[in-house]
Structure 1
Amino acid sequence: MDKTDDAESLLATALQDMLAGERLFAEHLPAIAAHSRAVSLTEALAREVERARLQAAALAEDSRADGGPPNLWMQGIIDDAHRDTRTIDAGPLLDAALVGAVRKALAAKHVSYETAVALAERLDEPALAARLRRCRDEEAASDHRLAAILSECTEAA
């Protein structure tokens, strides 16, 4: 694997990583969400799947996002969530664990988008920076909504 040695290459790597992460999240979240019991969580996770698909499409608009390696951090978060579905009884405790898993993914995505925004701004790509900023802000809004659902889940546990 070649070393990344400039801001343009790092931005391309970031776009590839984020696209792989969004696709992985959208692909695996439905199976994880099927284990949730709280209606509010089930609905929120369905919205997250759709949002991940839309964000993947937004990232794919930039040809530099194509062809990257698998996203290791998202795979790890998804693997943990799948393990939770096998090791925690269905109900409020599992729902709380699933909220935690999804919020970990959102936090990782948020930080990745911030890095890409900074690089796009540095490279004077305002349209890309704006698109990435919108995605980043959506991560924060989703995290806020899921934090409220977490309170519901833990109160019911």
Structure 2
Amino acid sequence: MAVKTIEDLFIHELSDIYSAEKQLTKALPRLAKAADAEELASAFEAHLEETRGQIERIDQVVELLGVRLKRIKCAAMEGLVEEGKDVIDTIDAGPLRDAALIGGAQKVEHYEIAAYGTLCALAKQLGYRDALPLLKETLEEEKATDQKLTLLAEGGGNRRAAAQAA
């Protein structure tokens, strides 16, 4: 797709994050299964449900604006998902793997925060007043998930990983 206007850019970015969220719905169950700490597994499972809601919100934005998403694959999310697979394949189950999974999940959240922040700015510029609250809601959810992951790491996940190495 040739991006020639700000509207084209908005549709491209929306299509990209839609692909990212779809990829994430496939990756999160693997992450939950690979997590050693029950609270981390539960966090991944809860984020899966939240991600499904975020996909529904994108569908609402598409319907509200009368646009069509482009069939593209988010290369950034593909890479982040691959990194998660590598963590699962190369680090034995336990606190160290959990610490790596949290770090990988935060990379995903930071990507999504950047993507939704961009979409919010573009929607505001384009005057998409009905779509903007939906995008902002997802942006706030992504920020909250990042904060939850930080709390899991700081609340003992990193300490347990350090103790494992000792």
Tell me by how many angstroms 1:77 deviates.
0.3
Structure 1 residues 1-157: aligned runs within 5 Å: 2-61=1-60, 62-63=62-63, 64=67, 66-151=69-154, 152-157=156-161
TM-score, normalising length: structure 2? 0.90
CA offsets 1:34-88 (integer angstroms, 9 cap, x no match): 0101111011100111111110111022153533211100010000000100101
The one-letter amino acid paired with 1:6 is: T
TM-score, normalising length: structure 1? 0.95
Matched-pair contact (CA < 8 Å) for 1:13–1:65: no
Once residues 77 and 41 of structure 2 are traced to their aligned partners in structure 1, the CA distance between those partners, rounded to angstroms, is: 20
- Quick one: percent identity of the two aligned structures? 27
Question: Which one has a bigger Cα radius of gyration?
Answer: 2
Matched-pair contact (CA < 8 Å) for 1:60–1:66: no
Q: CA RMSD in A?
A: 1.1
Q: Which stretches of structure 1, 4 residues or more, deviate above 4 A after TM superposition?
A: none
Tell me by how many angstroms 1:3 deviates.
2.3
Once residues 20 and 128 of structure 1 are traced to their aligned partners in structure 2, the CA distance between those partners, rounded to angstroms, is: 18
Once residues 65 and 138 of structure 1 are traced to their aligned partners in structure 2, the CA distance between those partners, rounded to angstroms, is: 25
The one-letter amino acid paired with 1:154 is: N
The one-letter amino acid paired with 1:103 is: Q
Give the unaligned 5+ runs of structure 2. 162-166
Matched-pair contact (CA < 8 Å) for 1:37–1:90: yes
Once residues 142 and 27 of structure 2 are traced to their aligned partners in structure 1, the CA distance between those partners, rounded to angstroms, is: 18
Once residues 39 and 29 of structure 1 are traced to their aligned partners in structure 2, the CA distance between those partners, rounded to angstroms, is: 14
The one-letter amino acid paired with 2:140 is: D
Once residues 68 and 111 of structure 1 are traced to their aligned partners in structure 2, the CA distance between those partners, rounded to angstroms, is: 21
